[in-house]
Amino acid sequence: MKTNSPVTSEQVRAGYAQHVVPSYKRSATAPVLVRGKGTRVWDADGKEYLDFGSGIAVNCLGHAHPRLAEVMKKQGEQLVHVSNLFLHPNQAELAGELVKRTGPGKVFFCNSGAEANEAMVKAARKAGAAEGRYEIITTLNSFHGRTLGMIAASGQERLREGFGPAMPGFVYVPYNDLAAVEKAIGPKTAAVMIEGIQGEGGVIPATPEYLLGLRRLTQEKGISLLMDAVQCGHYRTGRFQSYEWILESSGKKGDFLPDAISMAKSLGGGFPIGAVWFGIRLSDVLSPGTHATTYGGTALACAVALEILKIIEEEKLAENIAARGEELKKGLAQLSGKGWVGEVRGFGGMVGVTVRGKTHAEVAEALAQVGLLVVPAGSDVLRFLAPYSVSMNEVQEALQKVESTL
């Protein structure tokens, strides 16, 4: 595909070096991307890449989906934004669709994952305020965003370095360790917050026993269970929520429902939107005047999110990513032990591979050189986060590109 880029990669790199805050770690050869279609993107020099990063688990329908382009144009011509002091049909409809897929409750809309988590933590604190409960137990290695609140919530010290004093009220325990949570719960505990699959931490899924144990424990203690599903939710695993997949695939499907679930990334497929589903326990805690954001749930963002849900259903993309993810995992597992490929893990479209003998950044760069984009995570993991629409041929092509770098 012709790119028609009016600028060269060198010009763009120079523009970044001169005018863009250097807060992202990019390799010197990071591609300058100018166009996308489906699973593929092209850089300013016309080079083609298979995009198995999807942003970072964002572009669930790949790039330039014609129906998303159409809905953006149509809604853009009709109504983009009104104040949340007024109402519009799209927000009510999207909230209804999210409730239908999750369980009884209500939805708060915002613009990003970190904001969704902030809302979730505020609600849990407010629910516990009368009893003096404000502490949130989170897990080591977790990632919940980059606001001051969420770097305090994340169980990674490096995120807080230089930004002290950290916001108080977070207690960290090892992931998948139920006894540690039980020990950490005290009279000040308001909630436990976990990712169903730790994403930035290296694609580490919760065990079914941990999920069920946390639900039982938090119910017994009268505190909230909050799930950060920003990365692993919204069909990334082939199920709407990762806990459905985790519990189902271990034969432990049951009545598991947390008290709140944060969402972003795939919810908008690249158009910024975040949301929190609150179950009955927390659904009316954020009362008038207690929380807000100017842009939360605009008519345009909700129209995009609604169209994404329709496309996923009509084109059976949850089933597709579950099947393609298994093919990818199987193919990578066959390469395990060869070259840099170590352990392979994950569910559906969230696959992690540990890197041996090299750094994950070195391997990500080598893969980009052969035209495959993936995303580093943790200290030694590469994430494969293909769009839900990825084809069998594209999975095979990605595996061939991996093999060519061994």
Ligand X SMILES: Cc1ncc(COP(=O)(O)O)c(C=O)c1O
Site for ligand X in 140-169 (CB under 6 A): 143-145
Q: Which of residues 51-70 bind ligand X (CB under 6 A)?
A: 56
CB under 8 Å to 26, separation ≥6 — which residues?
none
Instruction: Select the residue interacting with ligand X from 43, 195, 259, 394 (CB under 6 A).
Output: 195
Taking the complex as a whole, the smallest distance from the CB of residue 236 to ligand X amounts, in Å, to 11
35/236 with CB nearer ligand X:
236
Joined tokens for residue 191: 């909630």
Q: Between 195 and 244, whose beta carbon lies closer to ligand X?
A: 195
Taking the complex as a whole, how short is the minimal distance between the CB of residue 197 and ligand X, in angstroms? 9
Among residues 227 and 395, whose Cβ is nearest to ligand X?
A: 227
How far is CA 336 from its chain centroid? 26
Which position's Cβ is nearest ligand X? 113
Cis bond before residue 165 (omega within 30° of 0): yes
Backbone φ and ψ for 299, nearest 5 degrees, come out as -60, -40
- From residue 232 to residue 271, the character string flagging contacts with ligand X as x (rule: CB under 6 A) and all else as - is --------------------------------x-------
Closest separation in Å from C-beta 375 to ligand X: 10
Task: Write down the least CB distance from residue 116 to ligand X, Å.
Answer: 7
| Cα distance between residue 44 and residue 299, in whole Å | 33
Q: Establish if 277 lies at the interface with ligand X (CB under 6 A).
A: no
Residue 231 vs 283, nearer CB to ligand X: 231
Our CB check for ligand X shows the closer of 121 and 399 to be: 121
Q: How far is the CB of 399 from ligand X (least distance, A)?
A: 25
The nearer residue to ligand X, 113 or 208, going by C-beta atoms, is: 113
Q: How far is CA 177 from CA 11, 23, 206, 207, 245, in A?
A: 50, 33, 10, 10, 20
Please give the full DSSP string across 75-104, using - where no structure is assigned: HHHH-----TTS--HHHHHHHHHHHHHH-S
Binding pattern for the stretch 306-335 against ligand X, x by CB under 6 A and - elsewhere = ------------------------------
**Exposure pattern of 107-146 as b/e (b: 16+ CB <10 Å)?**
bbbbbbbbbbbbbbbbbbbbbbeeeebbbbbbbbbbbbbe
Strands (E), 179-317: 189-195, 197-198, 204-205, 224-228, 260-263, 274-279
CB 166 within 8 A of CB 138: no
194 binds ligand X (CB under 6 A): no
Exposed e or buried b per residue across 196-212, where buried means at least 16 C-beta atoms within 10 angstroms of its C-beta: bbbbbbbbbbbebebbb
- Near ligand X by CB under 6 A, which window of 139-147, 162-170, 310-318, 358-366? 139-147
Of 228, 307, 380, 394, the residue at the interface with ligand X (CB under 6 A) is: 228
Q: Residues 388, 392, 395, 401: is their CA dihedral positive or negative?
A: negative
| Total number of residues shown for the chain | 406
d(CA 217, CA 46): 55
Q: What is the closest distance, in whole angstroms, from the C-beta atom of residue 230 to ligand X in the complex?
A: 4
* Minimum separation from the CB atom of position 58 to ligand X (A): 8
How many amino acids of this chain bind ligand X (CB under 6 A)? 15
Q: Please answer whether residues 340 and 405 qualify as being in contact, where contact means their C-beta atoms are separated by less than 8 angstroms.
A: yes
Q: What are the phi and psi torsion angles at 8 (to 5°)? A: -90, 160
- Mask of contacts with ligand X, 117-136, x by CB under 6 A? x-------------------
CB of 376 to ligand X, least distance (A): 12
Cβ proximity to ligand X: between 120 and 318 the closer is: 120
Cα distance between residue 328 and residue 84, in whole Å: 43
299: contact with ligand X by CB under 6 A: no
If one asks whether residue 112 binds ligand X (CB under 6 A), the answer comes out as: yes
Note the residues at the interface with ligand X (CB under 6 A): 56, 112-114, 117, 143-145, 195, 199-200, 228, 230-231, 264
